[in-house]
Amino acid sequence: MSSQSSLSVSKPIPRSIAVFGASGHIGGPAARHIRYRAPETKLRLITSDADKAGRLATDFPDAQCHVADLLDPASLEAALAEVEGVFVVTPAGLDE
């Protein structure tokens, strides 16, 4: 078996991806990149700030925007329902 054939593993693109912090300097470009590369993928943008959720809804009119807190399991459960992939950069000091 050649090394090239072992590197050609392909996974299907998730049908839905949640992006935490899409109003920030890492999550925002990630969300735009997903939208550009996989426009058929449903985006769910998650923020802990209701004002930012409103701005995200304007910037990403085809995405679902949710307010959730990484430290509140109930809000996370609702925000991540039926999501296949998650992009998150955990904040410093968070004991994940």
Provide the token pair at 22. 């899409």
The string of pLDDT tens digits covering residues 56-96 is 999 999 999 999 998 899 999 999 999 999 999 887 777 76
Q: Sign of dihedral through CA atoms 25, 29, 34, 35? A: positive
The string of pLDDT tens digits covering residues 47-63 is 999 999 999 999 999 99
Nearest Cα residue to 23 out of 35, 15, 32: 32
Give domain limits for the chain.
13-87
Other residues' Cβ atoms within 10 Å of the Cβ of residue 34: 20
Lowest mean pLDDT among 10-14, 32-36, 77-81: 10-14
DSSP character for 18? Answer: E
Quote the CATH superfamily of domain 13-87.
NAD(P)-binding Rossmann-like Domain (3.40.50.720)
In angstroms, the CA 84 to CA 94 distance is 23
- pTM for the full model? 0.82
